[in-house]
Amino acid sequence: MGEGIRQPQFQVGDVLLVSCPSARTRVTHVTPFDISVEWPWAHIDPESEVQWHGRRAIPRTSRNGEWGGLFQVDSKPGHLEVGDSCLVGIPETLVRIIDVGRFDPPADVGWLPRPHTMLIVLPVDHPHDPHAEEEGDTIDLETAAPIKIALVSRG
């Protein structure tokens, strides 16, 4: 379970300092925009209706002012090829919660552990567009990744 998870309930507007130590993984797919890696912290849920393949795509760079997301490949992403080893993690990042998803029963997302609570976050300096459908990145509070979360200020 990630660190910092047993904190007071988070709410929209909270500012958090998040990070995750890098873990070694392997590149499985490369496009001009993304690098897919074997996800080192979650396991495929054999009971899931979602057919997750155990990989996650991470943007190489942000596009058109869009934020690339929390997790970053800690290597020269322009030089990685399928089969290469790399590190993936979250550098210390200040984020603002823009939405909170609570699931009872836990959400069927394709991996284990199934999440009860997911925070949707944006960097504090990134403008929030309330009409955007897929804005922000998700912090799964039940993740096996060792994510560190510190409440900086209450929204």
Q: Is residue 6 part of a domain?
A: no
Distance from C-alpha of 107 to C-alpha of 114, rounded to nearest angstrom: 6
Q: Is residue 8 part of a domain?
A: no
To the nearest 10°, the Cα dihedral for 62, 134, 145, 79?
Answer: -30
Q: What is the pLDDT of residues 124-145, one digit of tens each?
A: 987 766 666 667 899 998 888 8
What is the rounded average pLDDT for all residues in the chain? Answer: 86
Beta bridge mates, 38: 55
**Whole-prediction pTM value?**
0.84
What is the number of structural domains in the chain? Answer: 1
Task: Give the β-pairing of 117-123 and 148-153.
Answer: unpaired
How far are the Cα atoms of 15, 44, 109, 120, 142 from residue 133, in angstroms, in the given order? 21, 26, 18, 12, 24
> Domain range holding 67?
15-153
Q: Is residue 2 part of a domain?
A: no
Q: Is residue 48 part of a domain?
A: yes
